[in-house]
Amino acid sequence: MPDRLVVMIAYGGVNLIDVAGPLQAFETAGRLRDSAATSGYRLVIASEDGGPIRTAPGVVIETSALKDVRPGEIDTLIVPGGLPSTSAHTFGLDRLVAWLAENARAARRLCSVCTGAFLLGDAGLLDGRRATTHWSRSEELSRRHPAINLEPDCIFVNDGQLWTSGGVTAGIDLALALVEADLGHRVAVDTARQLVVFVTRPGGQNQFRTVFSLKEAKSFGFSRLHTWMAENLHADLRVEKLAEKAGQSPRTFARLYVSQVGRTPAKAVEMMRLEAACRALEETSLPFKTIAAAVGLGNEQNLRRVMQRQFGIGPLDYRERFGRPG
């Protein structure tokens, strides 16, 4: 059987891992498959004009020209990330966006890694579809393309022909899912073992997200209150107490707070307490119940409940992944 053609798009400043990670997964899976029973992968990196492309870290990769790729022969088309916080069109990628709009649907599968979703969105390929992108750019993508049904916590999302993935290394998770769909669970597991990664990563992107940045909060009209809250997380921080501290009635305070901060006072308190708990889990070896009490969450059960709701993992898993070794 002929090998499946996987075309990885490239452009100046593309994230190297977005390109290399998925391709390595496909190459490894191709070697590990039962070659007598299943086809492997033929890997092509393509850019607008072909030739050398300088990636974000400066590594130069050789590419084929898109004009030499026949869209109808593509099994899997992957658009990686690397875009700055500007429109793809103003970054000189309008030709690539136009090519995607005209040709991408001809591929059996259309995929993006990280901010590659912006290119698919600009090409009109994500409207009305479920999708994800890097957690730090999800709000921007949603503003730019409100017709996308964005799922920002997902490592990757499959919506029929369309597959999108979160930040950078999530492209490997995506590739492993594609390998499993093509070659079966056993090959996907063996590939993950060779790459020393999870075949299915536990938790979602929210475990990597900044919970509630005080630097961000100081841009609003409650900077002094936020500073006081951060210094008194163990205290009574119900809306009545916060309103009293702000010198306002509870109703006026709650209305102004939501309009300026974008969340309720109760939600802000929970997020600040969670952020403090995460910092303690990362930097100390204190027992969970001690951390929960110190940040105002009361007990270990409440800490676990809040972390599961926000991150999809508990304090033990969080400390193992982000805490100091030893």
- 10-residue averages of pLDDT along the chain (326 residues): 93 95 96 84 96 95 96 97 70 90 97 95 95 90 93 88 90 93 90 84 61 49 86 92 92 91 89 90 91 94 91 86 74
Q: Find out whether 106 and 125 touch, Cβ atoms under 8 Å.
A: no
Beta strands in 160-294 (DSSP E): 162-165
CB burial of residue 84 (10 Å; 0-12, 13-18, 19+): exposed
Distance of CA 262 to the CA centre of its chain: 22
Q: Taking Cα atoms as reference points, which of 140, 146, 147, 161 lies closest to residue 81? A: 140
| Residue 186: partners with Cβ closer than 8 Å, 6 or more residues away | none
pLDDT value, residue 221: 72
pLDDT value, residue 208: 59
Q: Find out whether 215 and 272 touch, Cβ atoms under 8 Å.
A: no
Q: How far is it, in rounded angstroms, from Cα 289 to Cα 301?
A: 8
Distance of CA 239 to the CA centre of its chain: 33
pLDDT value, residue 218: 45
How far are the Cα atoms of 128, 231, 281, 284, 312 from residue 290, in angstroms, in the given order? 46, 17, 11, 11, 22
Domains of the chain in sequence order = 4-208 (3.40.50.880), 214-322 (1.10.10.60)
The kind and range of the H/E element at 234 are none
